[in-house]
Amino acid sequence: MMCPLCAAPTGTTRGYGRTFYACPLCGHLFTRDYDETQLRRGMGMEGSWSGPGGGGYREYCLVKILEQLCGMKSFLLFGTGNTPTLARLLAEGVDVVGCDISPDVVAYKKSVHGEERFDQPDALPGGRLFDGIVAVEVIEHFVNPLESFGLLFSCLAPEGIVAGTTDFYPGGPIEDANRYMSHKGHVAYWSQASLQTVAARFDRSVTAFEMVRPGSILPDEKFRLLWPNKRVFFMHGRGENGRRLRALHHDMDILDINMP
Ligand SMILES: [Zn+2]
């Protein structure tokens, strides 16, 4: 199996009864053991662990960070599912569009917010460019990462930023306390190095932060232990927005996104 990012031959490792492929060059870790139907269906109206109509707090926080830090005005919530984030931001007057792979979610959101406010990923290259694209717990579902990131960057304004969350592979065994890669829909286990490899293809860099686990309060001397692999990442260019994110990271490498 070749690495989908740099075409190097990969080695294999096992976890949760699945075979994973590890690239010796860029560190990308991925599996081809997944259910195609499930991957195409997405999370549907039920959502994931947050349940129907729940979750979305991280998406909301990332939009606020991009608004406040970079003065961004237009946003795409990529893979937002049935969270209330789109409705919440629209009620605040934010220019935001939602997108999800689940046909039932697309139909429902279009009926509530209008045809122009929600789309399938395939329908996105419609000439609209967004300042910020937010993809929370999405990129671990990318089977063809260059294609999927290509879609995202094709919808991004020149100084735009792609932001999201995922678990970063810390090295060592695949299996961990959070059982992140046991989920059949999770096919890519990213790291700073492999995400940076993708970013470089699109002339971008990655700045990543640790995230406070829900219920933890800063300052908390133990919080680094509470959600060890979760990362908030920003893929940005070399311009002013990239400098702002690097400066933020210099000041604090943990983001206080502390609700579920
Ligand atoms: Zn590679």
pLDDT of amino acid 259? 63
148 C-alpha to ligand 1 centroid (Å): 16
Q: How far is the centre of ligand 1, averaged over its atoms, from the C-alpha of 10 (Å)?
A: 8
Residue 154 Cα to ligand 1 middle (Å): 22
CATH of the domain at 227: 3.40.50.150
Expressed in angstroms and rounded, the spacing between residue 129 Cα and the centre of ligand 1 is 29
Ligand 1 center from residue 236 Cα (angstroms): 21
Instruction: Quote the domain boundaries for residue 84.
Output: 11-251
The SS3 call for residue 208 is strand
Q: Is residue 260 part of a domain?
A: no
Q: Could you give the number of structural domains in the chain?
A: 1
In this structure, is residue 256 part of a structural domain? no
Q: For position 110, what pLDDT does the model report?
A: 94
Least confident range from 1-10, 116-125, 135-144, 222-231: namely 222-231
258 lies in some domain: no
pTM: 0.92
Question: Is residue 111 within a helix (H) or strand (E), and if so which, with residue range?
Answer: helix 103-113
What pLDDT is recorded for position 257? 77
User: How remote is the CA of residue 194 from the centroid of ligand 1, in Å?
Assistant: 7
Asked whether the predicted pLDDT for residue 187 surpasses 80, the reply is yes
Q: What is the pLDDT of residue 238?
A: 93
Phi-psi region of 179 (alpha: psi -120 to 50; beta: other; left: phi over 0): left
**Which residues are CB-neighbours of 65 under 8 A, at least 6 positions away?**
163, 255
Confidence of residue 35 (pLDDT cuts 50, 70, 90): confident
In this predicted structure, what is the pLDDT of residue 127? 81
Q: Residues 2-29: pLDDT tens digits?
A: 999 999 999 999 999 999 999 999 999 9
